[in-house]
Amino acid sequence: MVVGPLGVGKTTFIGTVSEIKPLSTEAVMTKAGASVDVTVDQAKATTTVALDFGRMTIDGELVLYLFGTPGQQRFLPAWRDLARGALGALALVDTRDLTSSFDALGHLEDLGLPFAVAVNVFPGSPTHSDAELRAALDLLPETPLVSCDARDERSSVMALIALVRHLVLAAESS
């Protein structure tokens, strides 16, 4: 799963790494989304209403199926459905508004889903040390924390590699 708040870059991320044309359920925001805070991205006019889906083949036998979750709280039931059978999640965060990521990280913890955190670097976004980010996001020491640019394939693939390594290590230790 690829999770995070509205406008953090989940749809872009999946579109960047998917080897197939991604399925996207972007829709124009309606009155139901009128209460959504878009102060970070005033131009945000669409939102994912069900899921984004992409696929990435690691090798001949290992394929990642990527499911991007909706970013708005009202779509939380979709998260629960998408989490069934998921091995783990990549949580995208935006340093321009770290507090918007708290709900997504809390939902992952509630679901008991292992995850890695990828800071999606936006132009002009503030930078923080790993220690500051870990403290602000209340991350466990073993939770991978990486930076990426969701528009850049190599950078996004490296974020997924961090997640897969984390999942493999967790499986080996259990």
How many separate domains does the chain show? Answer: 1
Q: What is the pLDDT along the chain (174 residues), one digit of tens a residue?
A: 999 998 899 999 999 999 998 777 655 655 554 444 444 555 555 555 458 899 999 888 889 999 998 877 776 777 788 889 899 999 999 999 999 999 999 999 999 999 999 999 999 999 999 999 999 999 999 999 999 999 999 999 999 999 999 999 999 988
- pLDDT for 80 equals 81
**119 within 8 A of 126, measured Cβ to Cβ:** no
- pLDDT for 45 equals 58
Angle between helix 153-173 and helix 10-17 axes, rounded to 10 deg = 90
- pLDDT for 76 equals 73
- pLDDT for 34 equals 45
In angstroms, the CA 147 to CA 18 distance is: 19
In angstroms, the CA 99 to CA 137 distance is: 8
CB atoms within 10 A of CB 122: 18
In angstroms, the CA 10 to CA 70 distance is: 9
* Domain of residue 113, residue span: 2-173
- pLDDT for 47 equals 55
Task: Supply the CATH number for residue 111's domain.
Answer: 3.40.50.300
